[in-house]
Amino acid sequence: MPTKFRPSQTTRERHTGKTTTTHHWMKGMSKKELFEYINNSSGKPKIKGKCRNELVRRGIKIALVTKESE
């Protein structure tokens, strides 16, 4: 089964009553979203690892750059 970024979301239209399910798969996220989550200080380590694995799968090199204190 593919890797999930966050849980699936079910929404219901008010007028018609139809429900639609939106799945948030890793392969569907943009590079920008993945990098933002990796650099977020409040992100969960397990999901950060999943993001890194997805970027490696896409063939993107990840370099560690430390922030300089001002």
Q: Which two tokens stand for residue 52?
A: 């890194």
pLDDT digits (tens, 9 = 90+) for 15-68: 999 999 999 999 999 999 999 999 999 999 999 999 999 999 999 998 888 877
Instruction: Assign 2 a pLDDT band (cuts: 50, 70, 90).
Output: confident
pLDDT at site 17: 94
